[in-house]
Amino acid sequence: MKELVQLSVNGQTHDLVVRPERTLLDVLREDLGLTGSKRGCDLGACGACAVLLDGRPVSSCLTLAVEASGHEIVTVEGLARGGGLHPVQEAFVEHGAVQCGFCTPGMLITVTALLDERPEPTEAEILEALSGNLCRCTGYVKVLDAVRTAIRRMRQPGLPGSVAPEVRA
Amino acid sequence: MSDYTVVGKPLPRVDAREKVTGAAGYTADVRLPGMLRGKILRSPWPHARILNVDTSRAERLKGVHAVVTGRDTAGLRVAFVDTPRYPADEPPLALDRVRYIGDEIAAVAAVDAETAEEALRLIRVDHEELPAVFTAPDALTPGAPLVHEADYPGKTIWEDWGARGRPQSEPVPRQDNVAARTYVEFGDLGGGFAGAHHVREDRFEVAPVAHAPLEPHAAVAFWDQGGKLNMHVSSMGIFYKRFVLSKALGLPPSHVRIHKSYVGGAFGGKIDVFPYEIAAALLSRKAGRPVLIELSREESLTTTRMDFQATVRVKTGVSREGIIAAQDIQVVVDTGAYRGTGPVVIFLCYSYNIPVYRVPALRYEGLAVYTNNPVKGPKRGHGAPFIRFAVDSHMDMLAEDLGIDMVELMRRNARSQGEVMPTSGDVLRSCGLKDAIEAAARDGGWGAKRRQSHWTGSERFKRGVGLSACSMFSGSPYYPFASAAVLKLADDGGATLFAGTVEMGQGSETTLSQIAAEELGVPLSDIRIVSGDTELTPIEFGSFLSGGAFVTGKAVRLAAEDARRQLLEMAARLLEADVRDLEARDKVVSVKGAAHRRLSYGAIIAASVKQASGDPIIGKGYHKSVPDAGLHPSLSTAKGRWTEAYGFAAQLAEVEVDTWTGRVRVLRVVTYHDCGFPLNPQIVEGQIEGCVSMALGQTLQERVDLREGQVFNPDFLNYRIPITHDTPAMVSGMIHSQEPHGPFGAKEVGEGAVSGVMAAVANAVYDAAGVRITSLPIMPARVLAALDAARARGGRQEGR
């Protein structure tokens, strides 16, 4: 038995027929060709497959495609707009917070969600938000540096790399 | 150094934009028309005889396109080590036996993963379980079940390169489970110990840990019309993989092409050629369609190698002043069901230890032992973490025995520039070890904090500091022995660099591009890099044995030098000047002192095409890790040249021990790494910080929970790697020692700094709480038990 789902991904709507047990991660990667979201553990433990579901970060490997039907999904492919990188992406590039890059899409999604909800998070909130995103390469130091820079940039539009909130929406 | 405009600068990575937008392609992201999904049937038994494999029901399942078993492999055996002494021992798919839980029996390709999994359930395996052995001591007991009853010499891959083979190719019966032995002895051992002021002996244990790269292993295989095998692989060295795959499939090396994929972390765990990769190729050939095999996290954690379980015994005799007189070291590792890199790791424990302290007399024995456990392989540091944990914990204990400060004891014994390594003859042409020790101690506040466990004023929380040091090769003679690079100039004076490097997070695409840009006199943005493809790039040594920057980097510099020379020669003709009077920078060649006599690179290249028989300008460069070495130095005696340059590091850890719960919190890790010259300081820092994070996992929490051959924690919920909350303050400093053979003076940085952390933390725990933990990981239960024992005996205590 298959079900009809309507996924709005990065602003584009897709009508799909899927088996009910298929995960959002599978459908994004296999059916829509959006391979930016990574399969790291298939258990919701590593954060590499994180996407935004109505603005909240979820593990797409634990989310069924049918559950996501009718909701707004943003993947890493949808973060950059208008040819420019999102300030969080820019900060990751600038700080060398990207090494092998496999955890990076999930990290970017998590950080974006955090800063959308709390533009000025405390250090503890930053650590907590990213505690579900595993990284084996960077040792997290440069990731945390990048997040701090992104916060500064997004608070002060006009600095290089910053984007005004209305443009980002 | 200050004259450089591109190297030595913390420039952003050239691959970063692709990676932050999700555009970077990893192996499992490859999509090909008609691509099938492959799955592997694995042994649920630790040791069994395979009587028959019936695949007929699986083959009849709708959607299944191919099934392969050991019958499709022609008795093939492969292995990372495949020398006349240690011939390959691992069949990609079971022939007559399985030897560990997870051993490959059959593989299936089907239209989707679900169908492939269903097909696996339809395969019937007739078998007979055999007695198994799960620890090295048990495996060494006379009469223990033999994991391998014979060696199968056949023809080894080294014979293609001139190594002398064994005369016989019939199976050689085995008497025991010793998979490999390294033995080294030099100096007057008896005299050294007899004349020593003080002798002590200690024993250390290390639990097996997993590489756990975020990208699970994956391979895509497809065959073209000409009978050529094409693959995308999770790899650290594509030319090595191509060579072994060509052997395994009976193809000329030129009939195997590895295509570019980014690699989501490797840490040693992706250099070997794995059975699933060979299975993908066999399935694709049989099905006539592309096949993707994506291993699950559980398969990645249990069947693609892990680090060794090891026991290290160290005995040292020292003078009253703490100078080492003699040392006796024994390392025993459980190498698992196949040799894996057991023969290499027991050799490397010797080779990574010997450049740190001067030892006039030494006996070293390493044993790799077969068991019915998962197979072990190289993991970042490859032996250095556990040998350095043992030796520097032991040094800390010696320092206390002698009443000498550890920094002083290390300084008195540390090697320095110009020393020649015993047995190999390797020369330390650059060695910043003592500077690193002093810098780490200084920045870590050693003087103020050591032996001041009460400085917090708390009865419950005690703080302490500990130190350790380590060394690491910068590449070594191993297939494919050398790196080559090509730099092709474009019409506008920019250039394309062709280098076989695999970008797996270490930043090689960036640092190699920086080297080319600096040498050519163009900005980094003018260099395009083509990498990670065996067809498009010249041969490359590989990003393993820490040879990336040192070996490939040198080849790239020579290629750029060659292109620059040609450019200047052409400019000299055009400007009617002597080459020696020209200078090249910012894509312009000008005559010194006559700035108006100038030509852009673009104009020179156009002239080269028009006037010099149509030649564009292409530079070539080659380099070997050890230019004067034979092909194959000995793993069993350590004789023969090994490397041209060693990286060094010293590390200090500051910890807080909660004496109520036994929990150890690492507050700060200070690393000073002698990487020669940092080609990109930001990338060097990233490598050091990554090493420290991985090492802290191994020190405090990581352990593959293996019981009777079964892994009980094969996922990221139960095998917990460090997270943001576990991240201490890190100071990552660089010692510039200028390696004369390295590109711009650079040498190793990717591995060394993973090795000092364990001993530094263990020594800091002792400094803080007075308990000596000699078994990794340093988990709360171990600390509490040691604290209880110490209280019971009323003092500082050595625990397990």
- What pTM did the predictor assign? 0.96
E-strand spans in B573-663?
Answer: 582-585, 588-591, 594-600, 618-624, 646-658
- A77 — contact with chain B (CB < 8 Å)? yes
Residue A169 has pLDDT above 50, yes or no: no
Neighbour order of strands in the sheet with B582-585: B582-585, B588-591, B594-600
Give CA–CA dist B761/B780, Å, rounded.
14
- Taking CA atoms, B257 is separated from B242, B266, B484, B539, in Å, by 7, 21, 17, 12
Comparing CB atoms, the residue among B262, B692, B723 nearest residue A101 is B262
pLDDT of residue B795: 67
Of B21, B716, B725, the CB nearest to A77: B21
Give the residue with greater pLDDT, B748 vs A13: A13
Distance CA B484, CA B787 (A): 56
Q: Give how far B507 is from chain A: nearest CA, Å.
A: 7
- For chain B, say whether A162 makes contact (Cβ under 8 Å): no
With a cut of 70, say whether residue B183 has pLDDT above it: yes
Residue A158 confidence class, pLDDT cut points 50, 70, 90: low
Place of tokens 């024994």: B330
Q: Name the residue among B214, B689, B717 with its Cβ closest to that of A40.
A: B214
Q: CB of B212 within 8 Å of any CB in chain A?
A: yes
Q: Which positions in chain A touch B267 (Cβ < 8 Å)?
A: 136
pLDDT tier at B451 (50, 70, 90 boundaries)?
A: confident
Residues 102-161 of A with CB under 8 A from B: 102-105, 108, 126-128, 130-144
Instruction: Tell whether B718 lies on the interface with A, counting CB pairs under 8 A.
Output: no
Q: Is the pLDDT of residue A160 over 80?
A: no
pLDDT for position B752: 85
Is the pLDDT at B799 greater than 60, yes or no? no
**Contact yes or no for B265 and A134 at CB 8 A:** no
Cβ proximity of B318 and B398 under 8 Å: yes
Question: Which B-chain residues 642-701 have CB contacts (< 8 A) with chain A?
Answer: 682-683, 685-686, 689-694
For residue A74, which residues of chain B lie inside 8 Å, CB to CB? none
> Please, which pLDDT band fits residue B454 given cuts at 50, 70 and 90?
low
Q: Which of helix, strand or coil describes residue B244? A: helix
| pLDDT tens string B626-639 | 887 666 789 999 99
pLDDT bin (cut points 50, 70, 90) of residue B749 is: confident
- Average pLDDT estimate for B188-193: 98
**Contact status of A40 with chain B (Cβ, < 8 Å):** yes
Residues of B in contact with A48 (CB under 8 A): 214
Are A98 and B294 an interchain contact pair (Cβ–Cβ within 8 Å)? no
Higher pLDDT, B686 or B170: B686
Task: Please name the residue of chain A whose CA is at the shortest distance from the CA of residue B298.
Answer: A41
B216/A40 touch (CB, cutoff 8 Å), yes or no: yes
Flag if A127 and B265 touch (Cβ within 8 Å): no
pLDDT at position B487, please? 98
Residues in chain A: 169
Q: Is the CB of residue B154 less than 8 Å away from at least one CB of chain A? A: no
DSSP line for B253-291: GGGEEEEP-B-S--TTTTSSPPHHHHHHHHHHHHHTS-E
B301 — pLDDT class (breaks 50, 70, 90): very high
A62 touches chain B (CB under 8 A): no
Does B690 contact A131 at a Cβ distance shorter than 8 Å? no
Q: What is the ipTM of this complex?
A: 0.96
Q: Token pair 């003699």 is at which residue?
A: B326
Q: Do A135 and B214 touch (CB under 8 A)?
A: yes
Q: Do B213 and A136 touch (CB under 8 A)?
A: yes
Reported as a single tens digit per residue, the pLDDT across A68-126 is: 999 999 999 999 988 799 999 999 999 999 999 999 999 999 999 999 999 999 999 99
What part of B 24-83 touches A (C-beta under 8 Å)?
Answer: 24-26, 28-29, 31
Mean pLDDT of B671-692: 97
Burial class of residue A57 in the structure, from the number of CB atoms within 10 Å of its CB (0-12 exposed, 13-18 middle, 19+ buried): buried
- Please state, in angstroms and rounded to a whole number, the distance separating the CA atoms of residues B701 and B452: 26
Closest to B22 (Cβ–Cβ): which among A76, A137, A140? A76
Identity of residue B188: D
Q: What is the mean pLDDT of chain B?
A: 95
Q: Is the pLDDT of residue A56 over 50?
A: yes
Contacts of B16 in chain A (CB under 8 A): 92-93, 96, 98, 101
Q: What is the pLDDT of residue A166?
A: 37
Q: Residue B460 is which amino acid?
A: R
Nearest to A147 by CA among A121, A117, A169: A121
Closest chain A CA to residue B715: A41
Alpha carbon B249 to its chain centroid, in Å, reads 26
Q: What residue in B sits closest to A107 (Cα-Cα)? A: B20
Instruction: List the single range of B82-96, B602-616, B721-735 with lowest mean pLDDT.
Output: B602-616
Asked if the Cβ–Cβ distance from B215 to A41 is below 8 Å, we say no
- Cβ separation B31–A33 shorter than 8 A: yes
Mean pLDDT (whole number) for B724-744: 96
Confidence of residue A168 (pLDDT cuts 50, 70, 90): very low
CB contact under 8 A, A48 and B214: yes
Inter-chain residue contact B717 with A96, CB threshold 8 Å: no
| Residue of A102, A103, A108, A142 to mutate for B, most B C-beta atoms under 10 A | A102
Beta strand B218-223 pairing with B198-206: unpaired
Contact residues on chain A for B292, CB-CB shorter than 8 A: none
Min distance A6 CA to chain B CA atoms (Å)? 23
Amino acid identity, position A144: L
Kindly tell me the burial class for residue B720, based on how many C-beta atoms sit within 10 Å of its own C-beta (0-12, 13-18, 19 or more).
Answer: middle
Q: What is the pLDDT of residue B329?
A: 98
Report chain A residues whose CB lies below 8 A from the CB of B218: none
Contact B186, B361 (CB under 8 A): yes
Sheet strands side by side (includes A50-53): A12-18, A3-9, A72-74, A50-53, A56-59
Which of B17, B21, B720 is best to mutate for the A interface (most A CBs within 10 A)?
A: B21
Catalytic residues of B: 751
Model confidence at A156: pLDDT above 80: no
Q: pLDDT digits over B542-599, tens only?
A: 877 788 899 999 999 999 999 999 999 999 999 999 999 999 989 999 999 998 999 9
Kindly report the nearest CA distance between residue A70 and chain B, in angstroms.
24
pLDDT for position B631: 64
- Stretch (H or E) spanning B482: strand B482-489
Q: Which two tokens stand for residue A2?
A: 């298959």
Q: Locate the chain B residue with the closest alpha carbon to A134.
A: B723
What sign does the CA torsion over A42, A43, A49, A53 have?
positive
Closest residue in A to B729 (Cα) is A141
Across residues B496-522, what is the average pLDDT? 97
Give the closest of A45, A98, A126 to B716, CB-based: A45
Residues in B touching A110 (Cβ below 8 Å): none
Mean predicted confidence (pLDDT) in B313-324 = 98
Q: Which residues of A touch B213 (CB under 8 A)?
A: 100, 102, 136
Window B:488-527, CB contacts with A under 8 Å:
504-507
- Distance, in angstroms, between B18 CA and closest chain A CA? 9
Segment B694-708 mean pLDDT = 98
pLDDT at B796: 63
CA atoms within 13 A on the CB side of B448: 7
Shortest Cα–Cα distance, A133 to chain B (Å): 7
Q: In this predicted structure, what is the pLDDT of residue B151?
A: 92
Pairing of strands B48-54, B97-98: antiparallel
pLDDT at B514 over 60: yes
A32 interfacial to chain B (CB closer than 8 Å): no
* Contact between A93 and B12 using a beta-carbon 8 Å cutoff: yes
Q: Is the pLDDT of residue B187 over 90?
A: yes
CB contact under 8 A, A102 and B724: no
Give me the mean pLDDT over the B22-26 stretch.
Answer: 98
- B214 in Cβ contact with A40 (< 8 Å): yes
